[in-house]
Chains A and B, each alone.
Chain A
């Protein structure tokens, strides 16, 4: 223990060191921003490029980097090496675990009551529907990424397949939402298998890039196959869902007229809210149940180690395909809901950015933790809405948040990806048994 103070003094650098480091950061920032921020280019009316200088902005940015790096260094000293595990006393840990157990039911009850509490606030209801859509997408992708460990960067493709399935079936054949919903799910699952087959042999980063390419292909086909999908203009006039065939309209056969109450457009919003809540809870329930079945166990085994998994006789082909199909099906259901809620869809809604957003939700949620994904969706979408006023800075902030959160908590904000079953007791194995050549 005598060595600790000495080690600490050598670890806490003086003011000169901080100043030097910050000056270097500021210098780097000056070079980086010199042309990109110091000079602004714009195409004139006759196509001629002009430019003007913005040295004021440049100075502000460099000063901000200088101040920021001093602040970060000071914080780092003050904070010391981060190790939250050992500083938390037992009562606090107990209280936290109790809160952790009470949080899901409390959250569920609150979610059920949202339309009652915020009945008059259309904005909050819309936002809640949006958040729930992403919770559902997050839970769906969680099956693929969190449980089976297959990195999917093209999840939005299945969302798009679901949305376009419903939109095209409904506008061309007049099928109702409740018939199309399972159809959209099945079609998306079918596409999941279709994508799954070729990528069975791939893993890790290669899998990620192929799924990304697949997502882009679907989007490009949607844009260019104008006769079917309407191209960049999308599909309009997608019908709204009905309650057992009763439309929620102010017409005479509408729900409000049948019940004898005054019509209000909020009825439909509340109805949509409960549909997506039911769909999301269905996703959650199916996932939780599947985790207890052999297939769910196989997914987790696949995530932990594919080679070992195969050695144990698990069929990795069906395991991967079912994971893709299940995840894709939920994506498709969410897509069908998205189409009926918007009433209009276009390829613009299904860009790579959406995939990245859903993936960020899953990873920040802790990869495999259902509650974590829900909280991460709430944080991300809620945070995204906070920056709605700063339109063009929104994505910038989103990207920065993604980088910073990865550096700060690479394993996610809440929870971790503990396997469902594991040995309760650690078994020690003699080192002679695990040497190479002995197995």
Chain B
């Protein structure tokens, strides 16, 4: 039971990270109707930028951990958001009215560009960081000496996710930008006729998605203590799985899907085999799409000729 509780905690933390990435997928899919294949790599770039900012700050002699974390968070969100904007501007905007496959292939190309750009710029080796946030709480000490622990970093990941999610829900439901985004999601032409700047709204969607992915990248760095140039691919597919599981286009769905995927992956690794954890995640994607194509919280799509 203790072991299960511990895995539950770990799974929720991992799920929070997936959920943050999944929001980027689901927003873009909702508005533009394309899978932003490069989104996983945006997450990876966010991790790298967080790492580099952290190194610079430490080498300047900063020691206050909360201040460092705040600066790292803001810098990595800002720069990664610019990456998201640039990717949309270069690779997707010229293809917005092209045939269906074109933006998808362009996105795959962009994903290769970002992966290999990081490899060329920062080298192929895994970059480890020493644990920045240490300590934690012992929740329960079992009879066999198994300790259920909740570390500070796990608390930070979950709290940050919850805060961001609240902020983001507010943004979508109560601001001008959020209203524009929902309008574009329903009907771009009509939104444009009513004075919504569609191009700007779509750009902002990518920017917000990338900023959330940057947070996920930073959390990943803090939690696992490493980044490498290839981590975006698998994390990206799993986050996409999460978005689909929750119902693509639905924001709470993306978060719910992220948590479920995180839990399933952790529990699978804990009780079955670590080697096949990715297989389990991908199989879930297939099973969900077959039996529940609209996801848990998604709306069914009407098909027209």
A32 touches B83 (CB 8 A): yes
A406 touches B129 (CB 8 A): no
On chain B, the residues within 8 Å of A307 by CB distance are 303-305
A36's partner among B45, B56, B286 (CB-CB below 8 A) is: B45
Residue-wise interface mask of A (392-414) relative to B, using a CB-CB cutoff of 8 A (1 in contact, 0 not)? 11011011111100110011000
On chain B, the residues within 8 Å of A403 by CB distance are 90-91, 106, 109-110, 113
A206 touches B52 (CB 8 A): no
Known: A36-B52, A406-B106, A407-B94. A213 touches B285 (CB 8 A): yes
On chain A, the residues within 8 Å of B214 by CB distance are none
Residue-wise interface mask of B (32-63) relative to A, using a CB-CB cutoff of 8 A (1 in contact, 0 not)? 00110000000001001101110110010000
A410 touches B98 (CB 8 A): yes
Residue of A nearest to B123 (CB): A42
Residue-wise interface mask of B (120-136) relative to A, using a CB-CB cutoff of 8 A (1 in contact, 0 not)? 11111111110000000
Known: A35-B52, A40-B121, A396-B112. A210 touches B95 (CB 8 A): no
On chain B, the residues within 8 Å of A126 by CB distance are none
Binding site for B on A (CB under 8 A): 28, 31-32, 34-37, 39-43, 47, 49, 51, 151, 198-199, 201-202, 204-206, 208-210, 212-214, 216-217, 220-221, 223-224, 305, 307-308, 352-353, 356, 359-360, 363, 367, 392-393, 395-396, 398-403, 406-407, 410-411
A43's partner among B59, B115, B127 (CB-CB below 8 A) is: B127
Contacts A/B (CB < 8 Å), 16 sampled: A31-B79, A37-B121, A40-B121, A51-B56, A205-B29, A205-B35, A208-B35, A213-B241, A305-B305, A360-B109, A363-B105, A396-B113, A396-B116, A399-B113, A403-B90, A403-B91
B251–chain A nearest beta-carbon distance, Å: 19
On chain A, the residues within 8 Å of B59 by CB distance are 51
Q: For the complex, is B2 an interface residue (Cβ under 8 Å from A)?
A: no
B275 touches A224 (CB 8 A): yes
A218 to B104 Cα, complex, angstroms: 23
A36 touches B49 (CB 8 A): yes
Residue of B nearest to A351 (CB): B233
B79 touches A32 (CB 8 A): yes
A213 touches B237 (CB 8 A): yes
- What 13 additional pairs, Cβ within 8 angstroms, besides A210-B286, A220-B282, A224-B279? A32-B86, A35-B49, A41-B127, A208-B104, A224-B275, A367-B101, A395-B112, A396-B117, A402-B108, A403-B90, A403-B106, A406-B103, A410-B95
A402 to B175 Cα, complex, angstroms: 37
Q: For the complex, is B271 an interface residue (Cβ under 8 Å from A)?
A: no
A410 touches B100 (CB 8 A): no
A32–chain B nearest beta-carbon distance, Å: 6
Residue of A nearest to B34 (CB): A205
B121 touches A36 (CB 8 A): yes
On chain B, the residues within 8 Å of A213 by CB distance are 237, 241, 282-283, 285-286
In this complex, the member of A36, A206, A367 whose beta carbon has the largest number of chain B beta carbons within 10 angstroms is A36
Q: For the complex, is B244 an interface residue (Cβ under 8 Å from A)?
A: yes
B238–chain A nearest beta-carbon distance, Å: 10
A204 touches B303 (CB 8 A): no
On chain A, the residues within 8 Å of B117 by CB distance are 36, 396
A406 touches B303 (CB 8 A): no
Number of chain B residues whose Cβ lies closer than 8 Å to a Cβ of chain A: 71
A308 to B305 Cα, complex, angstroms: 7
Give 7 closest A-B pairs by Cβ, nearest first.
A402-B109, A399-B112, A399-B113, A213-B282, A410-B102, A396-B116, A403-B109
A392's partner among B49, B103, B112, B119 (CB-CB below 8 A) is: B119
Q: For the complex, is B156 an interface residue (Cβ under 8 Å from A)?
A: no
A217 to B55 Cα, complex, angstroms: 37
Residue of B nearest to A204 (CB): B100
On chain A, the residues within 8 Å of B103 by CB distance are 406
A149 to B252 Cα, complex, angstroms: 33
B293 touches A206 (CB 8 A): yes
A272–chain B nearest beta-carbon distance, Å: 30
On chain B, the residues within 8 Å of A367 by CB distance are 101
Q: For the complex, is B276 an interface residue (Cβ under 8 Å from A)?
A: yes
On chain A, the residues within 8 Å of B275 by CB distance are 220, 223-224
In this complex, the member of B75, B91, B105 whose beta carbon has the largest number of chain A beta carbons within 10 angstroms is B105
Known: A210-B285, A363-B105. A49 touches B128 (CB 8 A): yes
A40's partner among B75, B116, B122, B285 (CB-CB below 8 A) is: B122
A42 to B105 Cα, complex, angstroms: 33
B122 touches A36 (CB 8 A): yes
User: Total contacts A to B, CB within 8 angstroms?
Assistant: 181
Q: For the complex, is B272 an interface residue (Cβ under 8 Å from A)?
A: no
A209 to B104 Cα, complex, angstroms: 11
On chain B, the residues within 8 Å of A399 by CB distance are 109-116
A325 to B238 Cα, complex, angstroms: 28
On chain A, the residues within 8 Å of B52 by CB distance are 35-36, 39, 41, 51
- Which B247-276 residues have C-beta < 8 A from chain A? 275-276
A28 to B87 Cα, complex, angstroms: 12
Residue of A nearest to B107 (CB): A403
On chain A, the residues within 8 Å of B102 by CB distance are 406, 410
A305 to B304 Cα, complex, angstroms: 10
On chain B, the residues within 8 Å of A32 by CB distance are 79, 82-83, 86
A406 touches B237 (CB 8 A): no
B237's partner among A216, A221, A363, A395 (CB-CB below 8 A) is: A216
On chain B, the residues within 8 Å of A353 by CB distance are 112
On chain A, the residues within 8 Å of B278 by CB distance are 216, 220
Residue of B nearest to A411 (CB): B99
B285 touches A209 (CB 8 A): yes
A198 touches B56 (CB 8 A): no
B112's partner among A151, A208, A402 (CB-CB below 8 A) is: A402
B116 touches A392 (CB 8 A): yes
A198 to B123 Cα, complex, angstroms: 40
A354–chain B nearest beta-carbon distance, Å: 12
- Which B1-55 residues have C-beta < 8 A from chain A? 29, 34-35, 45, 48-49, 51-53, 55
On chain A, the residues within 8 Å of B120 by CB distance are 392-393, 396
Residue of A nearest to B273 (CB): A224
B118 touches A36 (CB 8 A): yes
A360 to B86 Cα, complex, angstroms: 23
B99–chain A nearest beta-carbon distance, Å: 6
B122 touches A217 (CB 8 A): no
Q: For the complex, is B223 an interface residue (Cβ under 8 Å from A)?
A: no
On chain A, the residues within 8 Å of B101 by CB distance are 151, 363, 367
Known: A209-B240, A308-B305, A410-B99. A216 touches B282 (CB 8 A): yes
On chain A, the residues within 8 Å of B121 by CB distance are 36-37, 40
A201 to B290 Cα, complex, angstroms: 7
On chain A, the residues within 8 Å of B48 by CB distance are 35-36
A359 to B233 Cα, complex, angstroms: 18
